[in-house]
Amino acid sequence: MQINDDVWVTVRYRLFDVQGEPLEAGERELTFLQGGYGAVFPLIEEALAGQTVGFRTTVHLEPEDGFGDYDADLVRLAPRADFPDELEVGMTFEGVPGARDDAEDDGLYTVTDFTDEAVVLDGNHPLAGMALRFQLEVIDVREATQAEIEREREVAGGYDDPDLAEALAERRDARRLEAHADAADEDDADDDDAGDGAASGGRGPGRRLH
């Protein structure tokens, strides 16, 4: 079966920077509905269109094709008193704690540094500004049911109902939080592995690709 719009595609992938350094530990698997539903970047869908199980390719993405350019305006400085006592670099917050109700402060922010007085928050995706290489292998393709297609359209925000749009936005934000939590867990696991390796002598979808 060929990969066309409205078919489920499962890929095994690895993510690298342009120097060939892996950005995640090991391979991942991701299943998505082909056809512009927002689960993967458009250039990845283009590369897979018309292909079948067993197809392998590498897709190069410039920042504008992936997570976007780094935006320095998304860096915020907030009072330390507005944050929990137990604070660590890498923690994420929905919006800027203590900020007024301002759309400019919406979104997911990551703690990049802090002192006793202030916390530095970054609203950019961790891979923003980076050129990326996705190494992909198609391992399964199957036809989607109409119910599955309708559900993915809803998740992609394909309806104009304001209440539905708000609910879908909340679901997408929840997915982003889960993805950041997964990344943080992996970083912790990598640190543990590195520590174990040093003691013995020896070191971004699955998550959505967007």
Residue with tokens 């050129």: 131
DSSP state of 64: G
CB atoms near residue 94 (< 10 Å): 13
What the chain holds in terms of domains, given with CATH numbers, is 7-67+129-200 (3.10.50.40), 72-122 (2.40.10.330)
Look at residues 19, 32, 3 and name the one whose alpha carbon lies nearest to residue 205. 32
14 three-class SS = strand
DSSP state of 119: E
Task: List the beta bridge partners of residue 12.
Answer: 29, 137
Q: Give me the phi and psi of 154, to 5 degrees please.
A: -65, -45
Q: Where residue 69 falls among pLDDT bands split at 50, 70, 90?
A: very high
Alpha carbon of residue 15 to chain centroid: 12
pLDDT digits (tens, 9 = 90+) for 176-188: 455 445 545 555 5
pLDDT of residue 157: 67
Assign residue 186 a region (left: φ > 0; alpha: ψ between -120 and 50; beta: otherwise). Answer: alpha
Task: Calculate mean pLDDT across residues 108-116.
Answer: 94
Structure-token pair, residue 120 = 């530095």
